[in-house]
A and B are shown apart, each in its own frame.
Chain A
Amino acid sequence: MNKKQINNILIWFSAIILIILIMTPGLWVVLTAFRPQVDVMAKPAVWIPRNLNLIQFETMLFGGSEGSMGRSPIPVLSYLRNSLIISFTSTFIAVLVGTIGGYGFARHNFKHKNKYFLLIMLTRTIPGISLSLPIFIIFSKIGLIDTHIGIILVFVALNIPFTIWLTDGFFRQIPRAMSEVAMTDGCTKLQAFWHIELPLSRSGIASAGIFAFLISWNEYALVSNLARSTDSKTLTVGLMDFTAQFTINWPGMCALAVFIIIPALILTFMVQKHLVTGLTFGGVKG
């Protein structure tokens, strides 16, 4: 065996270890969702599942049936509706505003530009959860607790800085000459943006969109404070419905977790091409 082969084996070995480390908890969640509570709680642990079933999903979606833990069904569909409304709306607004912001920072010069940019980025250094109390107090004063709008506002504020940062980078990659040519070609500034710069930065915008969506979709801590009822509780917050005073319905919770993962997974796969590859700038000598 030569050095190169040994190297290869080492690389593969480390990669596999790494993948196992990353994947195991996720796989365990999925597995648990299909196993009976007895199996899950068994000591010593039962590693290889003895029987798998769909009871948790049935209970979750269609209400209690025999074999479930007899708890009142959890309003998953309401939670799903809330999650979808909040995530898509907040992502749309954040990407729209953030892209315009990113374009502004990339293409325009104004006084104290770098300071403003730094300021916006600094907001990312504050842990979101530390904001939950001030947000709660403000929202309770203006009546935004337990509303879609309130939670959407929070997510928009959380996601805009990141979107600005990401799209700013993408717009900077596009040579200025591109929009200048478009403008001498007869475009207004807006048309040049729409026909040329926007299509060229769609990878960046798609990336920003998927990140913003995942943050909104998966956020738990903030929403758990702001959402009180089925009017605004999201799927992640709904996970806590599986805890009772003395027991936790682990399989049920995991079933909901699987239910949460699937849409995010589908969306990620849909835009992964944009996440992985940037556009090749063939129009410019590179």
Chain B
Amino acid sequence: MAKVSLQGVSKFYGKVQAVKKIDLEIIDKEFLVLVGPSGCGKSSSLRMIAGLEEIDEGIIKIGDKEMNNLEPRERNVSMVFQNYALYPHMTVEENLGFSLKIAGLAKKEIEERVHEAAGILDITEFLQRKPSQLSGGQRQRVAMGRAIVRRPDVFLFDEPLSNLDAKLRNQMRTEIKRLHQKVSTTIVYVTHDQVEAMTLADRIVIMKDGIIEQIGTPLDLFERPATKFVATFIGSPSMNMIKASIVKQNNELSMKTNDGIIVPVPKDKQYSVSEGQNISFGFRAEDIVPLKFGQKPSSAWEMKSSVNLAEPLGTETLIFTNFGEIEIVSRMFTPEQVKSNDILNFALNLDRTYLFDENSGLAI
């Protein structure tokens, strides 16, 4: 059990800086998810914690011990890889027990711990099989079992579910969460899938281009995105984002889109914007609803638009429509039939609109 801290950590690949002086404190027993698009530096960060990549700058500590010059085997971390990386020439039992054998444990203790881990993950019946005789989900479980038996200070997961099909992924996601509750060890988990991040994490770290965009609980990130990138990255479907500039109209500040549509600046949050400032404003699909089929929000701004496409999903329907020239998506929770080319009145909930400075990308 241990906390992990990264202090000003950087990673260079040749001239490219993959990780740029990041600071991060991971609390003991926390489930922390590193998420971001590919190439954002999340895997490099994880591999530096594991000791598989050199730390070019800064310090990484596990517990209170500096890890920079320690070999992977001296760090007492376990890693689960995307492609499982089970040893194909060993049985499941040998796979699970390998690290204990290397550590020089007695045969009897190895057996006990292997069976304990196999019990936790429900793979006892496969112990004598070779990895090639297992299904994807079973292999994934063995890979996790191999990590558990060592009783490490920290578990490191590198996109462990991305090779599984959708159904199995959901199932394994639940199992990983359950596993965390059972073993209650610090977990650092890397994924590019925001749904995984939202569902698993105690806290999420969103990375982009080697820097940390925001750290927070899943709801923090969803409700209070610090940057435009975080706003569009978290949530499905992605937040609608429209470019505009601030203009003064009737003595009130408004947002004028590139297509000339004018929307008043929401008043509730007292945004500090000035005339002429270039901004983007964003709103989630559920915050723009067809008036006819939804509840009218208290501070609504209305517009009329035709439906490009409707995707009925059962509990909800996604309606694709145009906001000026830009296609946006609206989420309707009433089971009503909507067809393409229907003309609908949409109400945008101004209270739930987010403003971002166009130059810095930061929330206003």
Interface residues of chain A, those whose CB is within 8 Å of chain B, are 175, 177-178, 180-188, 191, 195-196, 199-200, 279-285
Contacts and interface: CB of A to CB of B under 8 A. Distances in A.
B85 A184 contact: no
A184 B51 contact: yes
A114 B32 CA distance: 40
A200 B73 contact: no
A186 B99 contact: yes
B86 interface: yes
A177 B81 contact: yes
B340 interface: no
Q: Which of A175, A180, A195, A279 has the most CB of B within 10 A?
A: A180
10 contacts: A184-B75, A185-B99, A186-B99, A187-B73, A200-B88, A200-B89, A282-B86, A282-B133, A283-B132, A284-B84
B78 interface: yes
A279 B99 contact: no
Nearest to A181: B85
A285 B71 contact: no
A46 B102 CA distance: 67
Interface in B145-160: 146, 150, 156
Interface residues of B, number: 34
B81 A180 contact: yes
The 10 A-B pairs at the shortest CB distance, nearest first, are namely A282-B132, A283-B86, A185-B99, A177-B85, A283-B88, A183-B72, A282-B131, A177-B81, A283-B131, A186-B73
Given A181-B81, A282-B132, A186 B150 contact: yes
Interface of B: 50-52, 71-73, 75, 77-79, 81-89, 98-99, 102-103, 130-134, 136, 139, 146, 150, 156, 163
Contacts of A284: 83-86, 88
B85 A283 contact: yes
Contacts of B52: 180, 183-184
Contacts of A185: 73, 78, 98-99, 102, 146, 150
B94 to A, nearest CB: 10
Nearest to A185: B99
Contact of A279 (B89, B102, B139): B89
Nearest to A179: B85
A78 to B, nearest CB: 42
Contacts of B84: 283-285
A283 B146 CA distance: 13
A183 B53 CA distance: 12
A131 to B, nearest CB: 39
Contact of A285 (B89, B139, B146): B139
A185 B71 CA distance: 11
A184 B139 contact: no
A261 B89 CA distance: 34
Given A177-B85, A285-B139, A184 B131 contact: no
Contacts of B139: 283, 285
Contacts of A191: 102
A188 B131 contact: no
Contacts of A184: 50-52, 72-73, 75, 77-79, 156
B88 A186 contact: no
A178 B50 CA distance: 14
Q: Which of B52, B72, B84, B102 has the most CB of A within 10 A?
A: B72
A4 to B, nearest CB: 33
